[in-house]
Amino acid sequence: MADKLRAAVIGCGEICSNHTLGYLNSKRYEVVALADLSPQAMIDFDDRFTEFDDYKPEHFTDAREMLDKTKPDVVSVGVWDQGHAPMTIAAAASGVKAVLCEKPMAESIGAAADMLLVCRRNGVKLAIGHQRRFLPTYTLARQMIADGAIGDPYLITSFTRDGLPNYSSHQADMYRYVLSDPECTWVMGGVERETDQWARAVPIEDKALAAFGFDNGARAAIFSGLTPESSFDARIYGSDGMIHLSVTDLKIMNGKTGGWQEHKLDGEYVKYGADNFEMVEAGAAQARGLAEWVSGEAAEYRGEGANGYKALEMVHAAYESARTHTQVQMPLQTRVNPLELMIESGHLPVRYPGRYDIRNRTLRGENVVIDTDNV
C-alpha cells in the first residue's frame, strides 16, 4: 500500500467531523492540520478523535497559512456554502493533490464552475461529499437496474425537507448514480417561501416540488417539505418491477421474487445494523476511494466534482423553472442562485418576517449568523 496521505481540514464542524472519521477509518490518511476561526472549535474537534494514532493535527485560525505551512495532500472543505468556492480555490492554488468539498458544491453554479476550472488548471482532483454514492445498497440498486432487474426504469420518487440544495442535492445525485449517471435533460419546479428561512447563510424555500427528466427516458420527482415524511430513501419504478431503496437496506419486487425480496447488506467497514451505519460506512468508503484516485490506483472516482456540479445544477434548475415559469432545458444557463433572484425581485414575498438559519446551531459564542467576511 502507498504511504498515507496527509489530510487537513478547513472548518471544524459536524461535516468535517464525518470527513475526518472517514479518513481515519479508511486507514489511508494521517490528519495533520485543522483550520477554523474558532480555537475552541478545534479543541472540541480534537476530543472526538483521541483514539486514533493517525490524528495529530496542528491548529490554525487562518486556512491559507495552514496550507502554506503544512503542505497537505488532501484538504476537506466543510465551511458554510459561501466559503466552498474560495476555500477550494485557495487549496487548489496551494498545490494540494485533492480537495474533498462538502455538498452542496457551492451557493451557485457559477461559483461551482470556478471551482472546477481552478482545480483543472492546477491538476487538482476535486471531490464533492455526496457520500451516499458509497453505500452498499445504493450500489446494489445501480447494479440491479443496469442488469434489467426491474426492466426499463421510468420513475423515482423521494420525500425530503430543509431546502433543495441543502438536503435534496443528495437526492439529485442519487438519481443519477442509481441510473448509471445519465444526463438530466429537463427540469420543472415550483417553490413556496412564506418564511425567511436560510441554511448555512444561503436562502432556502419552505416547500418545493421538482421533476427531472433524463436522457435514458427515466424521470424523478422530489417532494420537499410537502409531507411529514423525509429521508434519503427512494422508490424506483420500472417496466418490470420496483425497488424500495434506503441507506441501510433494499427491497425489490419483480416477476421472479414472488413478492418483496429484502436485502440487508454489511458494509466493508461496519456491519449492518451498527450504530450510525450509514455515515461510518459511507465516510470510510468515500475516503478510501479518494485515496485510490489520488494515488493512481483507480482511474475514476464516483464522487468527482463533475457529479457534484450536476446535482447542484439540477436543484437550481428547479428554482429557475419556478422563476421563469418554464420547463428548463439543461444545461442551466443562469449562473447565480435563481432563488435569490426571486427573493430580490419580490417574486417570493415573505408572509412571516424574521430571518433564521436552520444550521445556526453549529455557530459559537454570541454568533447567530455566519461571518461572511472571513470565509
How confident is the model over 65-83, as pLDDT tens digits?
999 999 999 999 999 999 9
- Which range has the worst mean pLDDT, 89-103, 122-136, 157-171, 349-363? 349-363
Mean pLDDT of 219-235: 97
Q: Given a cut of 60, is residue 371 above it in pLDDT?
A: no
Percent pLDDT > 70 in the chain is 95
Question: What per-residue confidence (pLDDT) applies to 360?
Answer: 76
Question: What per-residue confidence (pLDDT) applies to 1?
Answer: 47
Q: Given a cut of 60, is residue 194 above it in pLDDT?
A: yes
Q: Given a cut of 50, is residue 171 above it in pLDDT?
A: yes
Instruction: Show the 3-state SS of the chain.
Output: CCCCEEEEEECCCHHHHHHHHHHHHHCCEEEEEEECCCHHHHHHHHHCCCCCCCEEEEEECCHHHHHHHHCCCEEEECCCHHHHHHHHHHHHHHCCCEEEECCCCCCCHHHHHHHHHHHHHCCCEEEECCHHHHCHHHHHHHHHHHCCCCCCEEEEEEEECCCHHHHHHHHHHHHHHHCCCCCEEEEEEEEECCEEEEECCEECCCEEEEEEEECCCCEEEEEECCCCCCCCCEEEEECCEEEEECCCEEEEEECCCCCCEEEECCCCCCCCCCCCHHHHHHHHHHHHHHHHHHHCCCCCCCCEHHHHHHHHHHHHHHHHHHHHCCCEECCCCCCCCHHHHHHHHCCCCCCEEEEEECCHHHCCCCCCCCCHHHC
Confidence of residue 307 (pLDDT cuts 50, 70, 90): very high
Q: Given a cut of 90, is residue 213 above it in pLDDT?
A: yes
Question: What per-residue confidence (pLDDT) applies to 370?
Answer: 57
Question: What per-residue confidence (pLDDT) applies to 373?
Answer: 42
Q: What is the pLDDT of residues 249-269, one digit of tens each?
A: 999 999 999 999 999 999 999
Question: What per-residue confidence (pLDDT) applies to 372?
Answer: 47
Quote the CA–CA distance of 199 and 104 in Å, as a whole number: 11
Q: What is the pLDDT of residues 79-129, one digit of tens each?
A: 999 999 999 999 999 999 999 999 999 999 999 999 999 999 999 999 999
Q: Given a cut of 90, is residue 374 above it in pLDDT?
A: no
Q: Could you tell me the domains of the chain?
A: 5-132+277-302 (3.40.50.720), 134-273+310-357 (3.30.360.10)
Question: What per-residue confidence (pLDDT) applies to 359?
Answer: 79
Q: Given a cut of 90, is residue 375 above it in pLDDT?
A: no
Q: Given a cut of 90, is residue 155 above it in pLDDT?
A: yes
Q: Given a cut of 50, is residue 356 above it in pLDDT?
A: yes
Q: Quick one: 122 exposed, middle or buried, by C-beta within 10 A (0-12, 13-18, 19+)?
A: middle
* Cross-sheet strand order for the sheet of 5-10: 55-60, 29-35, 5-10, 74-77, 98-101, 125-128
Question: What per-residue confidence (pLDDT) applies to 10?
Answer: 98
Mean pLDDT of 5-29: 96
Q: How many residues does the chain have?
A: 375
